[in-house]
A and B are shown apart, each in its own frame.
Chain A
Amino acid sequence: MSKLNQVIIPTTCLYSLQAVDFVINDKKILSDISIDLEPGVITGIIGPSGAGKSTLLSLLNKLLSPTGGEIFFDGRNLSEYPSQELRKLVGLVQQRPHLFAGTVRYNLEYGPKIWKIKYSDEDLLELMSKVALPADFLDREIDGLSGGEQQRVSFARSLANQPCVLLLDEPTSALDIVSSEIIENTIKQLAKEGMKIIIVTHSLQQTQDLTEQLLFLKDGCFIEKTSTIDFFKKYDEEEIRTFFKSKTEEE
């Protein structure tokens, strides 16, 4: 596959958040968050719903800007980092697929086209194989795909930019077990290949299976950063269950 990003993957500090606030409509979503994130491990962002996890994720690829404080990516202040350039390096997979109307091919080519790069059919098939999509899906309309297949296309669409960091916002919350497994395997494989992954999740099993370190948020505040193993040692089962309660379960 033709190389899109010739960027050196950050080695010392992936992200550094310094006293980050996010306020919208006089409502504090995140307050005074300071974290340093090292590269090299899959990081999970966990916490009860309403903790501001998705907002934090959006701050990392500048879909939102903090209303206070500063965020550094690879040593550069995000407020000076050109948004489009940053988002090429930092991919995002949303909770729902939100595909563009058209074929799978159109969706996969969308990102590279922004950078005036044309992928060959082999390149596209290679992308699809990463998320276990069969080759004959390439020219199918997205309307005919199942929810799980659409989310896999959405995953592949983000990978098409060849990002070096991948942000995942509950990527499997709307999926069946089979599709979830495929996506989890993809995440593991990508991590092995050196991709930096930050995942927001409500799944206890996913947290244990995938992540190595955890950021624990509650009510917009940063509680702690620990290794996954320590986290599960520290809290008892009942407490942990309340942390992972998702919105849908509460309703």
Chain B
Amino acid sequence: MAFIDIFNDIWSTLSNVDILIRIALSSVMLLIIVILSLWQNVGMETMFLWSFFRGFIQIVLMGSILTLIFDISKIWLLYIVLISMCVFAAFSISRRYRYPKMFLIELLAITSSSIFILTLVMFSGVPAAFEGIIPYPPQGEFIIPMGSMVISNTMVITSIVLERTKSDILKAKGSVEAALALGDSSTNAVRTILRDSYKAGLMPSTSRVAILGIVSIPGLMSGMIIGGVPPVEAAVYQIVIFLMILSSSFPASIIANALFTRQFFTKEHQFDLVFLNQLAKIEEEKNAQIKKNKKKMDKLKEKLRRKNKK
């Protein structure tokens, strides 16, 4: 049933004359690119046509699925969508940084802090204060995009933080051991390292806030203004989003760091040699993979060079 609904929805929208005119007008731009490509002998005409055709279909489908999700007004359903976004975020990070227990650490860190912040915002007065922009009581239309921004940024920031922590602990292994040898606890011995990792993770977002309005008008705000929201209201909304991102990422980073660094040490405040050995092996594999890829690239380049000569 749902699928038929989706196609009916797409069809009724696309058969609208206004929309058809818009598509036709956009196609003129596509035509210009294709002509330019032909004229300059770039050879990208089919690629242009194909990728835009494909992208168009995909995004229209996506859009109609979004309408379904946006219509969700049952809170528990919204939470299921949000949590599955967190699971996916944690999963994709754990694929990229294959450190032991990475999936669990990220899942716990991202889910707990982003869901907490989103809940806080949903049930505080914020949505009500934005009456006219945000439907109240909160609906998928508002929660899902906001959630995706918060969750994806939290994911990226925690991964930067953990990567930094890992490399700094390995780099400063000698002085961490010196601190332990003085009788320091393992949590205290890595304190300065963690502090630096938070700086590394949070700095980019914070400096983005600092240059807001002067250098950049973020995509969200631009979109809202184009969509007809008064610029000042859009600006306030943008600030709320940035605050949500930071206030979700910071605690998520603290949780992730606490769980991650715990693995480096034993209960006796010693380096856990088994874990360090695991890390070293992962690092080795990664480097081997990079070398392999490089070799492949070199071979490809060589082939291309030969082809060009012919």
Contact = CB atoms under 8 A, between A and B. Distances in A.
Interface in B261-289: 266, 268-271, 273, 277
A87 B182 contact: yes
B179 A92 contact: no
A98 B178 contact: yes
Contact of B181 (A24, A87, A100, A101): A87
A196 interface: no
Given A83-B269, A114-B188, A61 B181 contact: yes
A223 to B, nearest CB: 26
A62 interface: yes
B97 to A, nearest CB: 23
A100 B180 CA distance: 12
Contacts, number: 68
B125 interface: no
Given A85-B183, A114-B183, A158-B182, A98 B188 contact: no
Interface in B204-241: none
Interface string A6-47: 000000000000000000110000000000000000000000
A114 B181 CA distance: 12
Interface string A103-134: 00000001100110000000000000000000
A64 B181 contact: no
A94 B188 contact: no
Interface residues of B, number: 20
A94 B178 contact: yes
26 contacts: A24-B273, A63-B177, A64-B270, A65-B270, A83-B183, A83-B269, A84-B184, A84-B269, A87-B181, A87-B182, A87-B183, A91-B182, A94-B178, A98-B175, A98-B178, A100-B179, A101-B192, A110-B182, A110-B184, A111-B183, A114-B182, A114-B184, A115-B183, A154-B178, A157-B182, A161-B182
Q: Nearest 5 A-B pairs (CB), nearest first?
A: A98-B174, A92-B181, A87-B183, A111-B182, A88-B183
